[in-house]
């Protein structure tokens, strides 16, 4: 069973915690993690790109000139794709790029991503994430000693009053509830911080 040190917000060790092996002790599976990240990014695509097809551009449907004996190439319409201002042939139309992944595969991908982060030493368990006040500058000062220069992901559930509000204006800092955790946020995080009391909730949701 993976065991990590529990520290306070001043980086002092105050104890140790056992992390659930079902979530943090899995064998890394890069293929599953990649598939999950691609799925999330595809679901976030707007898919609003649109071009005008041959029947949608302005122009007459009349044949520009007769078929033969003009010395020019044959032409049937001013809207032809080979003409300037003609319609597009295979241009994009609004569509959804979203696709789904089986729940068991996504759960395995998330467990794999968390296990890899723990193996690399990027998971920190904090005894208590209570701030003096729910102000951005207070949180910024607190997090400055944890992974400065990297993206910090805080996995905190209910009861952490003002934490989400304080982190809203901090670039590179994200706060997510255990049941809202996703693979993409885990992969791009440089440091993952988990309050000790939320470890049980992580196991409940993702084990």
For residue range 131-148, what is the model confidence (pLDDT) as tens digits? 777 788 888 887 887 766
Consecutive H or E run containing 5: strand 3-7
Could you tell me which residues are beta bridge partners of residue 3? 18
In a domain, 128, yes or no: yes
Tally of structural domains, the chain = 1
* Averaged pLDDT, 165-178: 85
For residue range 55-93, what is the model confidence (pLDDT) as tens digits? 999 988 889 999 999 999 999 999 999 999 999 999 999
Q: What is the dihedral of CA 156, 43, 115, 162, to 10 degrees?
A: -10
Q: Which domain holds residue 200?
A: 3-27+102-206
Provide the H-helix boundaries in 134-193. 136-143, 163-167, 183-188
In a domain, 82, yes or no: no
Tell me how far apart the alpha carbons of residues 205 and 26 are, in angstroms, rounded to a whole number. 16
Q: What is the CATH number of the domain that holds 8?
A: 3.40.1370.10
Tokens 């007769």 sit on residue: 66
Q: How confident is the model at residue 149, as a pLDDT?
A: 61
Q: How confident is the model at residue 35, as a pLDDT?
A: 96
In a domain, 171, yes or no: yes
The answer to whether 132 and 138 are in contact (CB under 8 A) is yes
The answer to whether 32 and 114 are in contact (CB under 8 A) is no
């Amino acid at each position: 069973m993976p065991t990590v040190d529990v520290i306070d917000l001043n980086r002092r060790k105050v104890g140790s915690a056992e992390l659930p092996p079902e979530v943090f002790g899995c064998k890394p599976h890069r293929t599953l993690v990649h598939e999950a990240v691609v799925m999330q990014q595809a679901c976030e695509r707007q898919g609003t790109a649109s071009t005008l097809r041959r029947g949608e551009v302005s122009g007459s449907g009349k044949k520009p000139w007769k078929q033969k004996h003009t010395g020019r190439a044959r032409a049937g319409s001013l809207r032809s794709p080979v003409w300037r201002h003609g319609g597009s042939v295979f241009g994009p139309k609004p569509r959804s790029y979203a696709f789904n992944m089986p729940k068991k595969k996504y759960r395995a991908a998330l467990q794999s991503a968390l296990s890899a982060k723990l193996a690399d030493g990027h998971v920190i368990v904090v005894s208590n994430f209570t701030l003096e006040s729910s102000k951005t500058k207070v949180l910024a000062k607190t997090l400055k000693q944890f992974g400065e220069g990297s993206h910090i992901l805080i996995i905190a559930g209910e009861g952490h009053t003002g934490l989400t509000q304080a982190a809203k204006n901090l670039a590179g800092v994200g706060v997510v509830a255990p049941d809202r955790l996703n693979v993409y946020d885990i992969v791009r995080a440089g440091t993952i911080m988990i309050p000790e009391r939320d470890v049980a909730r992580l196991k409940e949701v993702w084990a």
